[in-house]
Each structure stands twice: as structure tokens, then as C-alpha cells.
């Protein structure tokens, strides 16, 4: 068996076709079969695939169907790419697919991507860590179709001196805000939402924690949006801070 014949899980980036890695793009260009998460991947990105490559959207498929398509392709000697949005390391259901491939004896590899977390921060023009304001970034989500682990509450991982990136939670903004308030956050804490970061139809909103649910309702944003919460989002609170990285002593 050719040890280099593997299935590649590739991070497609947040949407803008220029935000895939060089390695990810090369694998996409070489692929015979691409299974892609069609809701958050711009079809424009797939134009670099070979004209005869099979391109299959995965949003209507079950885990078993996805694994079986990948496995059949691999066994047939095809180069298979499983293209997921953003970075495969976050909320991509990669573990369950990789586990089944390993059970079938099929080797696989992950190629990282630019997460929507990075794209949303770039779009807001902000670094998520800032001396004396926030030195931690918490990636989390509200409970939804995938419930939170039993015994875990969002308020246990949120902190007034951290920046929070909340995935898959735009339709649960009221629950989110309740968790922050119960943790003792000020209702005026800065909060932001970036809808479809890096896409042409991107929209960004900067507000206060307590106003977030109403704003999302007014803007009809219920999905495909990243929510950020923390003092670092306030230009006023970032002003004048400096790190030791470029200190003259």
C-alpha cells in the first residue's frame, strides 16, 4: 500500500477563496473526489478542482454516507479531500469521521485552515488579546442540536478578563447573554457579531451584551455568524496598552 495515499481533511477557511492555505489549495487541485460542507464553502473555491473531479455537497448526507463515499473513493485509488469550513480543529465533526476511517484501516491527515474566529477578528480590526485587558481566548458555544457535556455550564469557562468567541450560537443569543450576566458581567460589556465573515455579504455589528439578542433579531441573523464578547472589543479599553514584546528595555 502507498503510505502517501491518505484522505485529507482540509480547512477551507471562512469563505473568501483566497483564505485557504497553499497546501489546502494544492490538495484541492489534485483531488478526484471532494466532499465539501456546502453551507459555508464558497463554490468559487471549487473552481480550482479538476474539471472531472466529483464534487459532493455533504449537508444532506449522514455520517455513514460521508464515510462510505470517502472510503469507496480511497479504495478505488482516488485522491479524496474532505473540505470543511474554517479550521478543522473547531466544531467540524472531524473526530467522528476520522475515527471511522481508522476503524476501516484508512489513513488520514488534517490540513489546518483559517477559522471564522480569525476572520471575524480581522473584519472587526481587532487583536483578541491585549495587555491588561485580555490574555485568554475562549472558544465555546451555547447548547443547541449538539448539547453541552453534562455538568458543563458556559458560565464556568467565561471570565471578565478573557475574550469569548461563540460559534453556532446566533439563534441562542438570549441564553448566551443570560450566562454572561449570571457570571457577573456588566450588561454594557462590548459584544460583536460577524455574519459570514470574509464573504461578499459579510455584516458586522458592534453592540453591548444586553442589546445583542435584540440586534440579532432586527438584523435577522440566526446562523453563519460568530459572536465575540469581551472588553478587548472596545477601542477605548484597548487604548494606550503596550506589550513587553517591543519594549525598549
223 near ligand SAM, rule: CB under 6 A: yes
196 near ligand SAM, rule: CB under 6 A: yes
Tell me the window of 62-70, 149-157, 203-211, 224-232 that interacts with ligand SAM (CB under 6 A).
224-232
Tell me the window of 73-81, 85-93, 127-135, 208-216 that interacts with ligand SAM (CB under 6 A).
85-93
**Cα 154 to Cα 96, 142, 165, 211, distances in angstroms:** 24, 7, 12, 19
197 near ligand SAM, rule: CB under 6 A: yes
28 near ligand SAM, rule: CB under 6 A: no
Tell me the window of 56-64, 84-92, 102-110, 144-152 that interacts with ligand SAM (CB under 6 A).
84-92
Q: What angle do CA 7, 63, 5 make, to 5 degrees?
A: 10
Residues 6+ apart with CB under 8 A from 57: 36, 37, 38
Of 11, 15, 238, 236, nearest in space to 120 by CA: 15
Residue among 216 and 225 whose Cβ is closer to ligand SAM: 225
Number of neighbouring beta carbons within 10 Å of residue 103:
9
Select from 58, 85, 97, 134 the one that contacts ligand SAM (CB under 6 A): 85
42 near ligand SAM, rule: CB under 6 A: no
97 near ligand SAM, rule: CB under 6 A: no
Select from 45, 69, 83, 87 the one that contacts ligand SAM (CB under 6 A): 87
Q: How far is the CB of 151 from ligand SAM (least distance, A)?
A: 23
Binding pattern for the stretch 155-184 against ligand SAM, x by CB under 6 A and - elsewhere: ------------xx----------------
126 near ligand SAM, rule: CB under 6 A: no
Interface residues toward ligand SAM, by CB under 6 A: 14-15, 40, 85-87, 90-92, 115-116, 119-120, 167-168, 194, 196-198, 223-226
Amino acid at each position: 500500500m502507498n503510505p502517501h495515499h491518505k484522505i485529507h481533511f482540509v480547512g477551507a477557511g471562512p469563505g473568501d477563496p483566497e483564505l485557504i492555505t497553499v497546501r489546502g489549495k494544492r490538495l484541492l487541485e489534485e483531488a478526484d473526489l471532494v466532499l465539501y460542507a456546502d453551507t459555508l464553502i464558497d463554490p468559487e473555491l471549487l473552481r480550482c478542482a479538476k474539471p472531472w473531479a466529483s464534487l459532493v455537497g455533504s449537508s444532506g448526507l449522514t455520517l455513514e454516507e460521508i464515510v462510505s463515499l470517502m472510503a469507496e473513493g480511497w479504495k478505488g485509488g482516488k485522491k479524496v479531500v474532505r473540505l470543511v469550513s474554517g479550521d478543522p480543529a473547531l466544531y467540524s465533526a472531524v473526530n467522528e469521521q476520522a475515527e471511522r476511517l481508522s476503524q476501516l484501516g484508512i489513513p488520514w491527515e488534517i490540513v489546518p485552515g483559517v477559522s471564522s474566529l480569525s476572520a471575524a477578528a480581522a473584519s472587526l480590526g481587532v487583536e483578541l488579546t491585549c495587555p491588561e485587558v485580555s490574555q485568554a481566548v475562549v472558544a465555546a458555544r451555547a447548547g443547541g442540536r449538539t448539547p453541552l457535556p453534562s455538568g458543563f455550564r458556559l458560565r464556568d469557562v467565561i471570565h471578565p478578563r478573557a475574550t469569548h468567541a461563540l460559534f453556532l450560537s446566533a439563534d441562542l443569543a438570549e441564553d448566551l447573554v443570560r450566562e454572561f450576566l449570571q457570571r457577573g458581567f456588566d450588561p454594557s460589556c462590548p459584544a460583536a457579531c460577524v455574519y459570514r465573515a470574509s464573504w461578499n455579504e459579510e455584516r458586522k455589528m458592534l453592540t453591548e451584551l444586553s442589546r445583542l439578542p435584540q440586534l440579532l433579531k432586527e438584523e435577522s441573523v440566526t446562523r453563519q455568524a460568530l459572536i465575540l464578547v469581551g472588553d478587548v472589543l472596545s477601542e477605548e479599553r484597548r487604548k494606550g496598552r503596550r506589550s513587553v514584546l517591543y519594549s525598549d528595555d
